[in-house]
Chains A and B, each alone.
Chain A
Amino acid sequence: MTHKAPSLFDWKIAGPAVGDAFKKLDPRLMIKNPVMFVTMVGAALTTVGIFTAATDRGFIAQLAVWLWFTVLFANFAEAVAEGRGKAQAQALRGTRVNTVARRINKSGKVEEVSANDLRKGDVVLVHAGEVIPADGDVIEGAATVDESAITGESAPVIRESGGDRSAVTGGTRVLSDEIKIRISINPGEGFLDRMISLVEGASRQKTPNEIALTILLSALTLIFLLVCVTLKPFGLYSATVFSVPVLIALLVCLIPTTIGGLLSAIGIAGMDRLLQHNVLAMSGRAVEASGDVDVLLLDKTGTITLGNRMATDFVPAPGVAMEKLADAAQLASLADETPEGRSVVVLAKEKFGLRGREVAAPQAQFVPFTAQTRMSGVDFAATGGQPARSIRKGAAAAIKIHVDRLGGQFPEAVDRSVENVARSGGTPLVVTDGSEVLGVIHLKDIVKGGIKERFAQLRKMGIRTVMITGDNKLTATAIAAEAGVDDFLAEAKPEDKLALIRKEQADGRMVAMIGDGTNDAPALAQADVGVAMNTGTQAAKEAGNMVDLDSNPTKLIEIIEIGKQLLITRGSLTTFSIANDVAKYFAIVPAMLMVTFPAIAPLNIMHLHSPNSAILSAIIFNALIIVALIPLALRGVKFKPIGALAILQRNLLIYGLGGVIIPFAGIKVIDVLVAAFKLV
């Protein structure tokens, strides 16, 4: 389930954002963004210029106003992105306001405290009908829990002590039974709290790529500062006086304010989009890294295949009728409540119209599966002329021993069938009636619909998928081929996962994986992008750098797309921002020289109305383009899995060439308006 994204300019978010835009003018905050800081200093100097200038005060005042707007628009973009993130995070944690918790103190007594007072290590008791006060692990008991508050999934889930399903999330509700929970976090440190603080300015740290980009933008700003400062002496030489406000206008037009103003909004919006997909990221770095993923490790079960194997075929032994085999298989599975057992019953019914029968004791005695016999089945006592029957199904090796003991023969043909089924990626179950071997049930992993196409897409994006399975090589090969994964790791133990990740990383690749169990924790921690299932253990969640609230393993693909989108948006707007400068030059440079050198008029290719109107139009365009691009920054540039070259060509055309052309049109239109309203 995904939360609906709030509309881009929802007043509940945009309203406070306007106020925040002003609060962010604090120089201590502005200095973090050198491009906008320079713009602000320019705005301040121009404001002073209104009072010190002898002429053109109206023009300088308008310049100052638009320069301040430029800064405010950038702040507003950031505030809106933050506001949206906060709104989504608040919606997620809505339920968990001040619940009362029952804490078990050291002497074993139960005391009632506010959920806010709980500390890491406290143990609380939660009954059916109560809300779990904070994130933690079940240490005693089992219960059904309604997690719809955070996942939107209405079906309750089971949470029990020990194993991989022990983690519970604050704000979810226990529906049945009673559990003891050890709280695993201090107040304000929950996943949601961390996510909110990441979205908010305070603890947000720049990601490595963001830092590199900021350096590039700052260096460009410095270069343009140099260009504008040296223009003053060059002007003196040429007997041309460039006024300070005009030089500032030129500077602000040249420095990359568009990307500088939107850079942090783009980063926050990436987190927001993850939240919309019900994924909590623990750091911005993780979001960025997901765009870089080269290798995707996926557990077979539940990700590539449906959770359970299904019976798909009966292969009778020589001389045995198909119906007889189906009938015996169905009988043996009637009491088998596992999905596999049920699928045998269903298959027999579908293929041969054999109805599930009510068979009950004392005539029939069900033999459950045990680790010792590795078989299950049913025994019928001899009644009404019917001889006693003992039907068994199980793995070939176990049945062989069983048949041997009864003095029967295991036909060679059945051996071959067993092998064939195994080779095709299925699991063979042999069915016997007494000492007679009837045939083989073909159990098969069902590969999820559409998954092959997803993998093909990933391959186009340059991402290799590796399937991890406990199955033997033969089975794994067949499933890998059917699902279209690039590689697989068969008979995998948890430590093999870790080793595989390390090996891929040593080769320079970035690895993403998804996991839930405690034994996944080391691998999750090692992976560059480790997504923990919300249903997983606390250990797994701590180790990963993202948590998927929906516990949907295919979510990784969306996460990668969001990461890529984030990077593409950054690159595209940077290109656009720099490309814009060409048109701004053609607007401002002729305007600056026109008074001394009227001959330069042909360079005014846009035929702008007057020098002042040209400069003002460029500045207005520069400010408005930030607002115009806020939706794009928040939504992100669309990512299509069409291969690197095609994406590059597409974006170069739109943002590179478009970035050169659009401002010519924009500045011209604004100039016409400026002239029409006689603003200068």
Chain B
Amino acid sequence: MNSSGWIQLALYVGALALITKPMGLYLMQVLDPKGKTWLDPLIRPLERLSYWIMGVRAEQEQNWRQYTWAMLLFSLVSCVFTYAILRLQNFLPLNPQGFAGLTPHLAFNTAVSFTTNTNWQSYGGESTMSYLSQMVALAIHNFASAATGIAIAAALVRGLSRHSTQLLGNFWVDLVRVTYYLLLPICLVFAVVLVSQGMIQNFKPYTTAKLIESYTITVQKTDDKGQPVTTNVAFTVSAPKLDDKGQPLMTNGVAVMVDVPQLDAKGQPVMTNVPVMVNQTVDEQSIVQGPMASQVAIKMLGTNGGGYTNANAAHPFENPTPLSNFLQMLSIFAIGSGLTWYLGRMTKNQAHGWSIWGAMLTLFLAGTLFCWWAESGGNPIHQQLGVAVADGNMEGKEVRFGIFNSALFATVTTDASCGAVNSMHDSFTALGGLVPLFNIQLGEIIFGGVGAGLYGMLVFVVLAVFIAGLMVGRTPEYLGKKIHSFDVKMAMLTLLILCLTILGFSAWAAVSDWGLAGLNNNGPHGLSEILYAYSSCVGNNGSAFAGLTANTPWYNTTLGIAMLFGRFLMIVPVMALAGSLAQKKLVPASAGTFPVSGGTFIVLLIGTILLVGALNFLPVLALGPIVEHFLMLQGKLF
């Protein structure tokens, strides 16, 4: 934990604090259909045209049911659209590498993944997706799923700030305005900045480069038709070598062993098929090309996280410089942070907005520092063996970023639901890897996925206010709205779904053959991998604790369902909550009212989040990363 890390952390927090209000102010205008921005002359005609094409009456607001149905309909149609393109990409243009269409389960998983803002990738982008698939089928969701999340958050905030009404705004208007005024313009500028850092943006076929130093690998031989070649050989077993007298031959008291063919009952050698291996010299490398900067800009800003390349933000093209790394991390929190300011302004309680921001920041710092500490500590076994670098655990980390920037990046992306990675979470120490996992299991409410973070956090606020609100001697109220049984029911429903989906699917996978087949590591670490996969999908994060082979029909399908549950089964109760809050009368605040700002409130909120999160997941975490940590201390690794 060196001073350069502390300075970078301070810079990051400072920059985040600085952009919060401007972002919030801009969101005020974007999320108000009559809002004014300096982009109006340029975009307003386009906006009107879009409404006209979609047949949307912009001034007509919707109640929570209409709003939710509109959102579901939009998600369904766009999901099917993406599924179709992925399946048919070999018949479609912009496929210079000639990639085949995706298998049904992979296409389902991927379409759902991008629709739900998860961006879980069961595939490697540069070896699977055509340019059209990347730019249309997937990128459209990078914008649309982000805009959907922000729209839902805006609807909930409207539910809080309005009273005695059914109306929560118009989904189509929110979707269009957020995309046109917020995401597209920022991404345009951001992409240019990224290009300036050396990120690529082109439509060229992949480049082939001649290696300076060629190397040799052993691969299976293929015949003319490209089929792997095998040969039939006798199955051998190890047996003691016998001397002339039929006695075992001994050297220094140890029997000398030789391989002898195994014989079956009839005395015939048992035969078996083995691959024929040949040495191959590699002297050239295929280098990825394509429209990367434009993809990366929205991948971060919209907390999508789906990498253009399989290495994601660890790839030199996808994250060329320290500045690009810093800006990418900042853009992940930018909208989530601005939304807290928007909440404060809309509810006419700016202190409340900042208090939520404060609670988020505290949890973020706690996670970052813990992860950084764990990674800096490194692995004691490596140190005993003398193979560890001086400053901690560098396994699975990009040397350009080092320990601090890997820990920070891992914390930021899992606080938000951005599945991008610039290091391999699987290779973190047990406790270091616990941080991203626990962040996701809390529901990614620390700044969070765009929109999703705020509405997830507000569910916790409702619960905190309900439990502790009683302690001031009034029936609980939040921002002047009485919290009744319906609201509690909806809030608890989201928690229940989060818990049910993560634990249910993980438990299933942990004891079924298909689940275990995908594991590359055994023991507690394998359990962490399964748990991380489902947590990441339910939380719509999308990052993976690599080490799990998830591109199988079972995993693709169950993870896809987990993503759908984690997104839409959460949004429906949240929208019902918004509708219920909007209808309520406003109770004026008095000296007897529970204060939803200030230190006490922040402590209360953090306490509720940690307590509920810890209580739900501690037992299984104890079987995973926690026990792994203690076993490591005893010298056992997985």
Contacts and interface: CB of A to CB of B under 8 A. Distances in A.
A202 interface: no
Interface stretch (A304-312, A543-551, A595-603): A595-603
Contact of B472 (A231, A603, A648): A648
B462 to A, nearest CB: 10
A523 B622 CA distance: 60
B276 to A, nearest CB: 37
A219 B496 contact: yes
A510 B473 CA distance: 14
A233 B511 contact: yes
B620 A209 contact: no
Nearest to A506: B585
B468 to A, nearest CB: 6
Contacts of B471: 568, 571-572, 575, 647-648, 651-652, 655
A571 B503 CA distance: 29
Nearest to A581: B615
A602 B622 CA distance: 12
A291 B470 CA distance: 10
B577 to A, nearest CB: 13
A600 B623 CA distance: 10
A240 B588 CA distance: 55
Interface residues on A, range: 35 or more
Contacts of B463: 216
Contacts of B508: 233
Contact of A462 (B466, B495, B593): B593
Nearest to B603: A652
A568 B473 contact: yes
Given A208-B484, A460-B591, A643-B591, A216 B627 contact: no
B83 interface: no
Interface string A646-662: 01110110011000000
A508 B591 contact: no
Given A223-B496, A508-B480, A575-B471, A599 B623 contact: no
B631 interface: yes
B386 interface: no
Contacts of A585: 614-615, 618-619
A291 B475 contact: yes
A227 B619 contact: yes
B348 interface: no
A579 interface: yes
Interface residues on B, range: 35 or more
A582 to B, nearest CB: 7
B467 A574 contact: yes
Contacts of A220: 492
Given A212-B483, A568-B473, A599-B631, A648 B594 contact: yes
B485 A215 contact: yes
Interface in A234-261: 234-238, 240, 250, 254
Contact of A578 (B467, B483, B488, B587): B467
A670 to B, nearest CB: 22
A226 B623 contact: no
Nearest to B164: A508
A676 interface: no
A404 B482 CA distance: 63
Contacts of A228: 619
Contacts of A590: 622
B553 interface: no
Contacts of A507: 588
A647 B467 CA distance: 14
A210 to B, nearest CB: 9
B534 to A, nearest CB: 11
A238 B618 contact: no
A143 B488 CA distance: 55
A250 B508 CA distance: 21
B475 A208 contact: yes
Contacts of A113: none
Interface string B604-635: 10010001001111111011001100110110
B36 interface: no
A291 B474 contact: yes
Contacts of B500: 226
Contact of B475 (A209, A230, A233): A209
Contacts of B496: 219, 222-223, 226
B239 to A, nearest CB: 33
A146 interface: no
A254 B607 contact: no
Given A578-B611, A644-B474, 9 more contacts: A213-B488, A216-B466, A237-B526, A292-B475, A459-B591, A571-B470, A575-B468, A639-B473, A652-B471
* 6 cross-chain pairs, A with B, having the tightest CB-CB distances, nearest first: A462-B592, A571-B470, A564-B473, A462-B590, A219-B492, A212-B485
Interface of B: 463, 466-476, 480, 483-485, 487-489, 492-493, 495-496, 499-500, 503-504, 506-508, 510-511, 516, 523-524, 526-527, 585-588, 590-595, 598, 600, 603-604, 607, 611, 614-620, 622-623, 626-627, 630-631, 633-634, 636
29 contacts: A215-B492, A219-B489, A220-B492, A223-B495, A223-B499, A223-B616, A224-B615, A233-B508, A292-B475, A294-B587, A462-B592, A507-B588, A508-B587, A508-B588, A509-B588, A564-B474, A565-B473, A568-B472, A568-B473, A570-B470, A571-B469, A571-B472, A575-B467, A578-B467, A599-B634, A603-B622, A648-B468, A651-B472, A655-B471
